[in-house]
Structure 1
Amino acid sequence: MNATTDGPLTVLSTTSDRSKSAGMTRGSRGSRILRSLLRAACGTVASVAVLAALGAVYETVAGSTDASIYPPAGRLVDVGGYRMHLDCRGKGSPTVVMDAGLGGSSLDWTLVQADAASTTRVCSYDRAGMGWSDASPLPRTPGHIADELHTLLNNAGVHGPYVLVGHSLAGKNIRMFASTYPDEVAGMVLVDARSEYVDALTPKAEADAFRAALEMQGILYGLARHLGVARALGASLVGAPLVPPAVATEMALLQTRSAAIDETTKEGLARSADDPALTGFSLGSIPLVVIAAGASTAGIPNWANAQNELVALSTQGKLVVAEQSGHAVQLEDPGVVLDAIDDVVSMVRADH
């Protein structure tokens, strides 16, 4: 009995010790793995922190010379307590005035302005808060933007008649200009322009997603600028291979200024504010060329129909499809935009 009893007890005791030993071994191995993972994580965090700090220092040092390295190509004009940038080149009438799309600046017309200015006067400008222009206290609706442009041109002594050229969302800006100052507009070119026709058919979920994406873009642009990424990788971030790398970097730096980020967000959120005023407004018989990007007509619902609706705004409306281009036609296929401007300018001169 005792021996039998002692036997099992001995065996149980031996088994328990082995379990404890195995458990301790597994526990030790697990602890080592955990410590290794923690060290790796800490090392990664430390590396990221160091890179972020170096990027911030790089941006601070390099940014201190931006004013001398990247001066405005044109002049700064007071428009009522704040200044806006206007770059006019060439001579002749009518005067072509170009407005960039959402988030863009006067540099968006780099591949167009010089050639267009060989036959007439051509002006590009920066909306308030964009490019070299100061921020504005006014709401960022197409109507207010059109009024600011009118004040800018008047204060700068640049008088009509105007041929207005607008890319993307700026198509609404220049149409509001034509609505408010019809006697000063002689022609128009809409470059893959957004319209109220598309807005009216945009589902709420898609509009909400756009709002969220716009706000997230602002956060990412701010980080890219603060950490020096926009400066270091600017040319590749812009994604416009026809644009010289130095100019593309300058475009990225202008687009990631804090004022530009704020302006872009505000303009994007107010993009439909004046749709009721635009709906049904006719351009009469002024020469009009509507350029539709092939990628947009193929990939965006209702875009092709909307471009045809824009053509119908004038009895002299004409549609041109840039088959091989993405949305930024002026940067991807500038010849199409140049031809359109030349056509409208020629028609305006023939009419006068």
Structure 2
Amino acid sequence: MSSLPTATTAAFVRIDGRPVHVRREGRGPVCVLSGGLGSSWFDWDPVLPLLAPYRTVVRFDRPGYGLSAPSPTAPTLAGEAERIRRVLDALGLPGPCTVVGHSLAGFYVEAFARLYPDRTAGLVLVDGSTEPAPRPRPAPALRDRAARTVAASATALGVPYLLGPTARRLTARVTTVRRKDLAPDALVRRCYRTGRVLGAMLRENGRYLDLAADLAEVRRAAPLPDVPALVLAADRGRGSRHTRHWLARQSDLAATLGAEFRTAAPSGHLLMYDRPDAVAAAVLDAG
């Protein structure tokens, strides 16, 4: 990757007493990049050189991911939307920004746009999660306790240390058409050998339908601000039934939001690796 003629800041900011890993790079209008389930800040690295000359790019790790400390509480939709706001406040960036969410983080950035319209300049969902008629699951506290117990037991047995990086690599390979994880080996080992990443993934995945149901409530209560919105969907280019079904759901999501709909082919779910050019173009156009 070529060096960037822009300022770069890596730091930890405290939110509710817990350190959150944050990166600020580039110059110009602000955009926030939020990764999907199990992602770390470096998953946006291929996109960064295409954005940083034109945008102030903010990346951060949600609790337990990347280099951020785990949270004592389970993730909530409003809590993660507020976390974006508090990260921006901690960096001294109070103005409107373009919020970009990949996969599950699409829930969070859409909620941010609806709950903080004055702070939103644009919205981009990158192969965002979508649930047309979600219903919350029962016993959320019990499910969260079970997720933490499983993660703690696996960590005590050394499962993340032994298998975490391999699982990360395999997941990246099956979710890209290039069949390759572009993340640096040292960073993958540093982050995915830890039990906190496993715990964060289990807790967030366990709350998936609850988050989707909460978003449906927010949609009914708070309209999107009148800003550019774009849905970018991954298309493996095979014309398979699964691909057609997924693209139809992404198109429906765009229609629900009144957003522009684009596809990027060929690409897998980890669009930042397969088509960083399409991701960067969507962010710049929506901003």
Q: What is the TM-score normalised by the length of structure 1?
A: 0.64
Aligned pair partner of 1:176 in 111, 114, 135: 111
Gaps of 5+ in 1: 1-71, 201-210, 346-352
**Corresponding position of 2:229:** 288
Q: Deviations over 1:284-321 (max 9, x none)?
A: 43101101111498526853333223222444x21111
Aligned CA distance change for structure 1 residues 161 and 235 (closer, same or farther; 3 Å): same
- Checking the alignment, whether the CA contact within 8 Å between 1:127 and 1:133 is kept in structure 2 is yes
Contact 1:284 1:313 in 2 (8 A): no
**Equivalence for 2:191:** 254
Task: Give the number of the structure whose alpha-carbon radius of gyration is greater.
Answer: 1
Q: Which of 253, 259, 271 matches 2:208?
A: 271
* 2:27 counterpart of 1:86: no
Higher strand share: 2
**Cα distance change of structure 1 residues 150 and 233 upon mapping to structure 2, 3 Å threshold:** closer
Query: What SS is found at the alignment partner of 2:184?
Result: helix
Judging changes above 3 Å, is the alpha-carbon distance between structure 1 residues 237 and 321 closer, same or farther for their aligned structure 2 residues?
Answer: closer
SS of the aligned residue for 2:224 comes to coil
Pick aligned residue for 1:335 from 266, 277, 287? 277
Which residues of 2 match residues 25-44 of structure 1 at below 5 A?
none
2:265 to 315, 318, 323: 323
TM-score using structure 2 length: 0.77
- The 3-state SS of whatever aligns with 1:174 is helix
Which is worse superposed, 230-239 or 151-160? 230-239
SS of the equivalent of 1:107 reads helix
Residue in 1 aligned with 2:131?
196
Return the letter of the residue paired with 2:233. Answer: A
One-letter amino acid of the structure 2 residue matched with residue 285 of structure 1 = D
Give the one of 292, 311, 326 matched to 2:254: 311
* Structure number having the greater helix percentage: 1
SS of match in other structure, 1:74? strand
Cα deviation, 1:119-157, whole Å, max 9, x if unaligned, reads: 111111100111111112232122211112211221221
Q: After the TM superposition, which of the residue ranges 145-154 and 244-253 deviates more from structure 2?
A: 244-253
Deviates more, 1:148-157 or 1:161-170: 148-157
Select the residue among 172, 187, 190 that pairs with 2:122.
187
Q: What SS is found at the alignment partner of 1:197?
A: coil
* Larger RCO, structures 1/2 (Cα 8 Å, 6+ apart): 2
CA RMSD, aligned part only? Answer: 3.3
Answer yes or no: is the 8 Å Cα contact 1:235–1:245 preserved in 2.
Answer: no
Give yes or no for contact 1:105–1:251 (8 Å, CA) kept in 2: no
